[in-house]
């Protein structure tokens, strides 16, 4: 009986010690968020303007409509962008970037001028896109059909940075996050420069496997690959962005922080100028 009373008393003691602590998370003033990418492919130029939101505010971002937005280039171009909807500003006509030229985005909002600039990197087209069947498990790679590309880096010297996007039947395959690659520790592996594309069977027999895009495909699938040659700063922005989005709440996560970008006056986001190439294939048996 005394033991039972002791247990009950202990339980009440723990309940009495329970205390709810309310943590106040300060809200900073909203900042301008600028998102834009222009490429070497002829297309409308777009700039999205929104305001940052509190951490626990999951509502959709507020799109802005009143701003002056222009993009100018060292090639003599000067393009005004006009508000369309949901914070999107669009050029009246299709435009394209020229390799080696620098393009400057200027946004005037609430009396403050925000500026970002990047130079268009060089790149080579995708030489070949092909598929092959891997009959046995090879390490972490499941057997099945895979697609890979072959190309040549823009420069033999280190300093090439790439983002790849792969679409299976018009659906972007990003299960593993962004497909980023660089040549800081050798060649760009997604370009498979040292694989004999004209003798795939013999290469596989020698144990040489090209680096494919990380998903299994099926015969008759249409696969489209987009290759983006990007600048080093934008490449690092994408690496850091992926790290922030992949946070799991573990002690090993990188601390949450605003990403370094190329926009002046404390705005968030990024203005990227990239060299875009693409290729497609219908997978065969």
Q: What's the pLDDT at 215?
A: 94
pLDDT of residue 202: 87
Q: What is the mean pLDDT of residues 218-246?
A: 94
Whose tokens are 């922005």? That residue is 237
Whether the pLDDT of residue 114 is over 80: the answer is yes
Give the pLDDT confidence of 146-185 residue by residue, as tens digits. Answer: 999 999 999 989 999 999 999 999 999 998 889 999 999 8
- Pairwise CA distance, residues 250 & 244, whole Å: 12
Assess whether pLDDT exceeds 80 at residue 187.
yes
Q: What average pLDDT does the segment 12-32 reach?
A: 64
pLDDT score of 203? 86
Judged by DSSP in three states, 52 sits in: coil
User: What Rg, from alpha-carbon coordinates, does the chain have?
Assistant: 25
Beta bridge partners of 103: 73, 118
Residue 45's beta-bridge partner residues? none
Which tens digit of pLDDT belongs to each residue from 276-285? 999 999 999 8
Mean pLDDT of the chain: 87
Beta bridge partners of residue 228, listed in sequence order: 163, 276
- Angle, vertex CA 85, rays to CA 55 and CA 95, nearest 5: 110
Mean pLDDT of 210-235: 96
Closest CA to 262 of 272, 251, 274, 250: 272
| Complete domains list, the chain, with CATH | 32-119 (2.60.40), 126-231+277-282 (no CATH)
The structure tokens 């968020």 sit at 33
Q: Of the segments 49-53, 63-67, 120-124, which one has the largest average pLDDT value? A: 120-124
Q: What angle do CA 180, 186, 190 make, to 5 degrees?
A: 40
190 φ, ψ (degrees, to nearest 5): -65, -20
């Amino acid at each position: 009986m005394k033991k039972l009373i002791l247990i009950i008393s202990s339980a009440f003691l723990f309940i009495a010690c329970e205390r709810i602590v309310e943590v106040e998370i300060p809200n900073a003033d909203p900042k301008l968020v600028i998102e834009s990418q222009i490429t070497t492919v002829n297309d409308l130029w777009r700039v999205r303007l929104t305001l940052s939101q509190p951490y626990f505010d999951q509502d959709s971002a507020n799109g802005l409509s009143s701003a002056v937005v222009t993009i100018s280039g060292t090639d003599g171009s000067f393009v005004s962008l006009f508000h369309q909807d949901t914070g999107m500003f669009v050029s009246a006509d299709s435009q394209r970037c020229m390799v080696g030229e620098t393009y400057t985005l200027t946004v005037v909002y609430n009396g403050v001028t925000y500026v970002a600039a990047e130079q268009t990197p060089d790149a080579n087209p995708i030489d070949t896109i092909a598929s092959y069947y891997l009959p046995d498990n090879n390490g972490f790679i499941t057997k099945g059909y895979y697609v890979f590309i072959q190309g040549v880096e823009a420069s033999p010297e280190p300093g090439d940075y790439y983002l790849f996007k792969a679409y299976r039947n018009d659906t972007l395959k990003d299960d593993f996050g962004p497909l980023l690659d660089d040549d800081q520790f050798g060649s760009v592996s997604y370009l498979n420069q040292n694989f004999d594309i004209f003798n795939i069977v013999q290469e596989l027999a020698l144990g040489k496997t090209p680096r494919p895009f990380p998903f299994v495909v099926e015969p008759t699938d249409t696969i489209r690959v987009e290759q983006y040659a990007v600048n080093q700063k934008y490449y690092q922005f994408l690496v850091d962005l992926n790290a922030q989005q992949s946070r799991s709440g573990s002690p090993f996560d990188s601390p949450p922080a605003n990403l370094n970008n190329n926009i002046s006056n404390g705005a968030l986001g990024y203005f990227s100028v990239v060299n875009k190439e693409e290729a497609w294939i219908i997978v065969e048996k």
